[in-house]
């Protein structure tokens, strides 16, 4: 191993392109090994912590199962059971847990919390979703798009609906690999401006476009990949009525699907709300790849674990 990457995985934007390429190769190799029943105990004796301040099905179970498949052990740390919930500081918790664990996945609200963990912990910290971003999702989505479309260059991804954490990470991921991305999100629900500005610089370097608009019809025109996510993200429950009203014209339905390329695939990070952001007809239809997409969370996150947990300590 020659490349030295950052200790933590907090956002796609800060990852060098070779790291992303290496992850895509490793994830594909690990997927093949699992399929063929070839053992790949690359993390024997290592322990991963999982700290979730929001619910999770895919992220939690795929990290836990993945760690077991790699010969290591994963430990869920229920928030209510650890002293952090009684006011112990992130700094003390991170420094102590770094003496026991080889890495930790954190799902929380404020992105600043994972940044604080990364600063204080000497072990790798992996962002398992914050209000700002969901890098593990976007990285595994790159894997799915590559599998289904065979390339990134010239591919157009259209993201419709709430410009949320998943949208932010998809923008960063698209910019890194030179894939076009067009967003159709209502005013007030657009992706993070700093994320977009930074990604535009990266996209220009890699020959792709980032279009942020308010019209879903324009965004999906000639798209190869259609993507949407829930309208009411975790922590936004109080805004439910307003969100349902504003986002209603942004439903991914049969009519919108017709404006994309005939061989377009439909993606959704799940969990989904049929009848809200997407119709059952589209989500469960022949163009949907949602279950393959969810499967790839496992393979990509195993690659992330192998990459970060086998890096030498003491790097930036
Ligand atoms: N897509 C995703 O992260 O799902 P979970 O919330 O179930 O982990
Ligand atoms: N945007 C959603 C993604 C869930 C995986 C949320 O933050 O709740």
Q: What is the pLDDT of residues 183-210, one digit of tens each?
A: 999 999 999 999 999 999 999 999 999 9
Q: Find out whether 278 and 252 touch, Cβ atoms under 8 Å.
A: yes
- Residues 70-99: what's their mean pLDDT? 96
Looking at residue 73, which CATH number applies to its domain? 3.40.50.1370
Q: What are phi and psi of 223, to 5 degrees?
A: -75, 150
Q: Does residue 216 have a known ligand-binding role?
A: no
Whether pTM exceeds 0.95:
yes
pLDDT computed for residue 313 by the predictor: 65
- What mean pLDDT, rounded, does the chain reach? 97
Are residues 180 and 141 part of one domain?
yes
Task: Look at residue 312 and tell me whether its pLDDT is greater than 90.
Answer: no
Considering the domain architecture, whether residues 275 and 142 belong to the same structural domain is answered as: yes
How many domains does the chain contain in total? 2
Same domain for 144 and 284?
yes
Whether the complex's predicted ipTM is more than 0.90 is answered with: yes
Nearest atom (ligand 1) to Cα of 134? 3
Q: Model confidence over 104-131: pLDDT tens digits? A: 999 999 999 999 999 999 999 999 999 9
Atom of ligand 2 nearest to the CA of 229: 1
pLDDT at 4: 83
Q: In ligand 1, which atom is closest to the CA atom of 59?
A: 8
CB 60 near ligand 2, within 6 Å: no
Distance from Cα 99 to the centre of ligand 2, integer Å: 31
CA 37 to centroid of ligand 2, rounded, Å: 32
Do both 259 and 180 map to the same domain?
yes
| Res 315: pLDDT | 47
Distance from C-alpha of 158 to C-alpha of 175, rounded to nearest angstrom: 13
pLDDT (0 to 100) of residue 226: 98
Residues 108 and 168 reside in one and the same domain: no
State whether 289 and 142 are in the same domain.
yes
Q: Clarify whether residues 123 and 150 are in a common domain.
A: no
Instruction: Examine residue 226 and state whether it is found in any structural domain, yes or no.
Output: yes
Q: Are residues 82 and 172 in the same domain?
A: no
Q: pLDDT tens for residues 232-283?
A: 999 999 999 999 999 999 999 999 999 999 999 999 999 999 999 999 999 9
Residue 3 lies in a domain: no
C-alpha of residue 13 to centroid of ligand 1, in Å: 20
229 lines ligand 2 (CB under 6 A): yes
Note whether 53 and 71 are same-domain residues. Answer: yes
Ligand nearest 138 Cα, by number? 1
Residue with CA closest to ligand 2 atom 1 = 233
Active site residues: 107, 134, 137, 229, 269, 297
137 C-beta closer than 6 A to ligand 1 = yes
Average pLDDT of the residues in 122-148: 98
65 & 108 share domain: yes
Q: Would the CB of 234 count as within 6 Å of ligand 2?
A: yes
**Within this chain, do residues 166 and 129 fall inside the same structural domain, yes or no?**
no
- Domain that includes residue 114, residue range: 17-133+297-309
Indicate if ligand 2 lies below 6 Å from the C-beta of 164: yes
- Both 107 and 30 in one domain: the answer is yes
Q: Is the pLDDT of residue 1 over 50?
A: no
pLDDT at 41 over 80: yes
């Amino acid at each position: 191993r020659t490349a030295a990457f950052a200790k933590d995985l907090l956002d796609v934007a800060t990852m060098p392109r070779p790291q992303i390429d290496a992850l895509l190769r490793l994830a594909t190799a690990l997927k093949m090994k699992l399929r063929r029943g070839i053992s790949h105990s690359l993390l024997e004796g290592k322990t991963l912590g999982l700290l979730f301040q929001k619910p999770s099905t895919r992220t939690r179970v795929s990290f836990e199962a993945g760690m077991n498949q790699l010969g290591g052990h994963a430990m869920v740390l229920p928030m209510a059971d650890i002293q952090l919930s009684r006011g112990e500081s992130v700094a003390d918790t991170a420094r102590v847990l770094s003496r026991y664990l080889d890495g930790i996945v954190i799902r929380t609200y404020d992105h600043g919390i994972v940044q604080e963990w990364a600063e204080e912990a000497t072990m790798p910290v992996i962002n398992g979703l914050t209000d700002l971003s969901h890098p593990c999702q976007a990285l595994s989505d790159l894997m799915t798009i590559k599998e289904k479309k065979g390339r990134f260059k010239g591919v157009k991804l259209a993201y419709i609906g709430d410009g949320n954490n998943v949208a932010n990470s998809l923008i960063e991921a698209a910019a890194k690999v030179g894939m076009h991305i067009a967003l159709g999100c209502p005013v007030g629900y657009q992706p993070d401006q700093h994320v977009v500005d930074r990604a535009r610089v990266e996209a220009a370097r890699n020959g792709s476009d980032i279009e942020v608009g308010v019209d879903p019809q324009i965004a999906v025109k000639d798209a190869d990949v259609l993507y949407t996510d829930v309208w009411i993200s975790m922590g936004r429950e109080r805004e439910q009525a307003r969100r349902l009203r504003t986002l209603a014209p942004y439903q991914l339905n049969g009519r919108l699907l017709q404006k994309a390329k005939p061989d377009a695939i439909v993606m959704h990070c799940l969990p989904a709300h049929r009848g809200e952001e997407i119709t059952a007809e589209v989500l469960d239809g022949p163009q949907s790849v949602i279950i393959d997409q969810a499967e790839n969370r496992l393979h990509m996150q195993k690659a992330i674990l192998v990459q970060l947990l086998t890096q030498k300590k003491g790097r930036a």
